[in-house]
Amino acid sequence: MYTDRMAVPTDGKLALLEKTAESVRETIVRSLVAAGSGHTAGALGLADVFTAFYFHILTHDPGDPESEERDRLVLSNGHVCPALYATMAHAGYFPIDECLTLRKFGSRLQGHPERALLPGLETTSGPLGEGLSQAAGMAYAFRMDGRKNRVYALMSDGEQEEGSTWEAAMFAGKNRLSNLIAVIDRNGIQIDGVTEDVMPLEPLAEKYRAFNWLVLDADGNDIAAFIAAVDEAKAVQDKPTLIIARTIPGKGVPEIESDYRWHGEVPTVEEGERFLQELRTAAGQVPQGRA
């Protein structure tokens, strides 16, 4: 079982997490090429966040996905599931090669997660704006039962345009659900363009603070920084926490980074090979002071 290990990772552990995130990105690209459809930019941007969750933050057990002791990770923006599937596979929930069945007829790995198909999924997601409500309900139930499980909700920034998200934010704030930690993937894009052009979200942090949330800001592509933000959130006892995780959509593939057109596009076979080479090139650039 992966246990709740929120100690600051050592340099060696951090290097291993970063290497895992690189492998997750390669699996994402391979699965999307095999599928021929899906969402590329957001999935690549969230590889570091998912790696931090499944290899350091969450209490969970790939060998016992229904363990009552597990934390819950609710994926609201289900279209980034290639990143979720790839990370779960690398964590041992199912063979990595199964990721190549993404979106295939009869596959357990559909284009949006279906809870009944794959052990380890907490919700069926697709319609944006539902995940925070589901997570808040879980957190409220755990508190009623006197249980220590934590609930994490991962949302897109685009779905902050959904009214149901704000109903859940009010509910969680009013009930002081300190066992709930929400994460917004603040990558700044959605399928029609830049979020601030389609429907301006700012001042996003102030809006959540008005509903009695603690709001933290973190670099979602810096694993150590993201883990530190979750660590800070876990120390809060009187309110839910929102982490605004700023990520680069398409992270690791410079030619598509921050390009909203890749929100819902996938690479061709030729592009996929080029993207994999770009990922490997970026992976060879080890920051100074890292093992």
For the domain that residue 36 is a member of, what is the CATH number? 3.40.50.970
Contacts of 280 (CB under 8 A, 6+ apart): 26
**In which domain, by residue range, is 71 found?**
11-283
Alpha-carbon gap, residue 45 to 252, rounded angstroms: 8
Token couple for 264: 């819902």
- Cis peptide upstream of residue 203 (ω within 30 degrees of 0): yes
Asked, for residue 184, whether it belongs to a domain, the answer is yes
Contact in structure between 108 and 94 (CB atoms under 8 Å): yes
**At 23, is the secondary structure helix, strand, or coil?**
helix
Contacts of 66 (CB under 8 A, 6+ apart): 119
Amino acid at 49: V
Tell me the residue length of the chain. 291
Give the predicted TM-score (pTM) of the model: 0.94
Token couple for 239: 């309110």
Asked, for residue 3, whether it belongs to a domain, the answer is no
Contact in structure between 155 and 76 (CB atoms under 8 Å): yes
Which residues of the chain fall short of a pLDDT of 50? 286-291
Neighbours of 230 (CB within 10 A): 24
Characterize the bridge pairing of strands 151-156 and 180-186. parallel
Counting the structural domains of the chain, the total is 1
Amino acid at 171: F
Asked, for residue 288, whether it belongs to a domain, the answer is no
- Residue with the two structure tokens 């100074």: 288
Predicted pLDDT of residue 54:
98
Token couple for 271: 């592009």
Alpha-carbon gap, residue 179 to 140, rounded angstroms: 8
Asked, for residue 133, whether it belongs to a domain, the answer is yes
Contacts of 262 (CB under 8 A, 6+ apart): 40, 41, 249, 250, 256
Asked, for residue 5, whether it belongs to a domain, the answer is no
Predicted pLDDT of residue 283:
81
Buried b (16+ CB within 10 A) or exposed e, 94-119: bebebbbbbbeeebbbbbbbbeeebe
